[in-house]
Amino acid sequence: IVKMVERGPGKDVPYKIHSRGIYMVLETQAGMVLMWDRKTSIFIKLDQHYKGKVCGLCGNYDGNSMNDFTTRSLSVVGDVQEFGNSWKSSPSCPDAVPTRDPCTANPYRKAWAQKQCSIINSAVFAACRSQVDSTKYYEACVLDACACDSGGDCECFCTAVAAYAQACNDVGVCVSWRKPDICPMFCDFYNPHGECDWHYQPCGAPCLKTCRNPSGKCLVNLPGLEGMPSPEIYSHSF
């Protein structure tokens, strides 16, 4: 359940919240978009006019990933702990300490995590790897899959692979990677008996005219997002 709160009477709320595929999307008039998959992943997208004008834990958005670890004092460091601790919201907050490698802490999960995450380096994503390097996504997938050993282990794996699939989609490479035995999305569950209105789309559609968005305009132009458009939301008679 999402509740929108106005900060002042009679004033327009400077953002929109809506669903796009499996994502809940918050678009702001300031040019920032938050996308949440309602599980373990959140994406932040900024308008082009913010390029090189931001700083912090998400980098400076200047197109150069080599200087993303810039501290509050504007020095570029290689240590993630030093970088993160420099952006503490208050000096009284304790420094973060290095965490133990999850695959070392849970060695019984390492082989499973590597096997599952190998889909990122498989032929399934072959068309994407020349556009988006898979190395960091594979490493993140293995770490997440090793770490989630107290429930939600498949969820951690699935959202890690979905993050790479979305990065591929952002550069125009649509990959249909979900299978009945790999992170399935059962849209058929929502179909009325004898009907087939709900369909899974691996890359979805861009901003469209819908019953909830009759103008067909979004505050920010986003690529298609994974999910299943609802027949109750999408209108076919405009």
Q: Give the containing element (helix H, strand E) for 164.
A: helix 153-170
Residue 141 included in any domain: yes
| Rounded Cα gap, residues 142 and 156, in angstroms | 10
Residue 165 included in any domain: yes
| Sign (positive or negative) of CA dihedral 55, 57, 58, 61 | positive
Three-state DSSP class for 76?
Answer: strand
Dihedrals φ, ψ of 2, to 5°?
Answer: -115, 130
Residue 179 included in any domain: no
| Residue type at 69 in one-letter notation | F
Q: What is the pTM of this model?
A: 0.70
Residue 134 included in any domain: yes
Query: How does pLDDT run across 72-82, given as a tens digit for each residue?
Result: 999 999 999 99
- Beta bridge partners, 32, equal 46
What is the token pair recorded at 20?
Answer: 């796009």
Residue 36 included in any domain: no
Query: How does pLDDT run across 36-80, given as a tens digit for each residue?
Result: 887 778 888 898 899 999 999 999 999 888 899 999 999 999 999
Contact present, 142 and 113 (Cβ < 8 Å):
yes
What is the token pair recorded at 31?
Answer: 């040019």
Contact present, 47 and 32 (Cβ < 8 Å):
yes
- The total number of structural domains in the chain stands at 1
| Rounded Cα gap, residues 197 and 218, in angstroms | 25
Three-state DSSP class for 141?
Answer: helix
Q: Which domain holds residue 119?
A: 102-171
Whether residue 194 is predicted with pLDDT greater than 60 in this model: the reply is no
Whether residue 104 is predicted with pLDDT greater than 50 in this model: the reply is yes
Three-state DSSP class for 25?
Answer: strand
- Beta bridge partners, 17, equal 26
Per-residue confidence at 183, pLDDT binned at 50, 70, 90? confident
Whether residue 98 is predicted with pLDDT greater than 90 in this model: the reply is no
Q: What is the pLDDT of residue 19?
A: 73
Residue 146 included in any domain: yes
As a dihedral over the C-alpha atoms of residue 133, residue 137, residue 142, residue 148, rounded to 10 degrees, the angle is: -170
Helix axes 135-147, 153-170, angle to 10 degrees: 160
Residue 155 included in any domain: yes
Residue whose pair of structure tokens reads 């499973």 in the numeric block: 112
How far is the CA of 166 from the CAs of 38, 84, 126, 226, in angstroms? Answer: 15, 26, 15, 8
Contact present, 52 and 41 (Cβ < 8 Å):
no
194: number of Cβ within 10 Å: 5
Q: What is the pLDDT of residue 190?
A: 45
Q: What is the pLDDT of residue 170?
A: 86
